[in-house]
Amino acid sequence: MNIQISSAAAEWYKQELSLKNGDFVRFYVRYGGFSPVQKGFSLGISNDEPNDIGAKTTEGGITFYVEEKDLWYFDDHDLIVNLHQKYEEPVLEYKKP
């Protein structure tokens, strides 16, 4: 499982969460919501310090990661995060490598 974050999306997270270089953004599984890969679950975000990283990438000085215990959610898909041009908010895509 890989994580890809566009520079525009990384900048959005930095501004919205008041992050500085060296900070972390965790994608975690939460019950409820909608997902094309797992029914009844969705992704949440937090700026927690890492515990047991299963996948990560760094963009714009921020490390984006998923903990090992949450990798099941992705069902062998990569997470791709871009910024929606019109709505100026992150869009999550899931793609099989």
How does pLDDT run across 45-62, given as a tens digit for each residue?
A: 999 899 899 999 999 999
Mean pLDDT of the 68-86 span: 96
Report the largest interatomic distance among the alpha carbons of the chain, rounded to a whole angstrom: 35
Can you give the pLDDT at residue 64? 98
Distance CA 5, CA 80 (A): 6
For 71, the domain range is 3-95
Question: pLDDT tens, 13-45?
Answer: 999 999 999 999 999 999 999 899 999 999 999
CATH of the domain at 74: 2.60.300.12
Can you give the pLDDT at residue 63? 98
The number of folded domains in the chain is 1
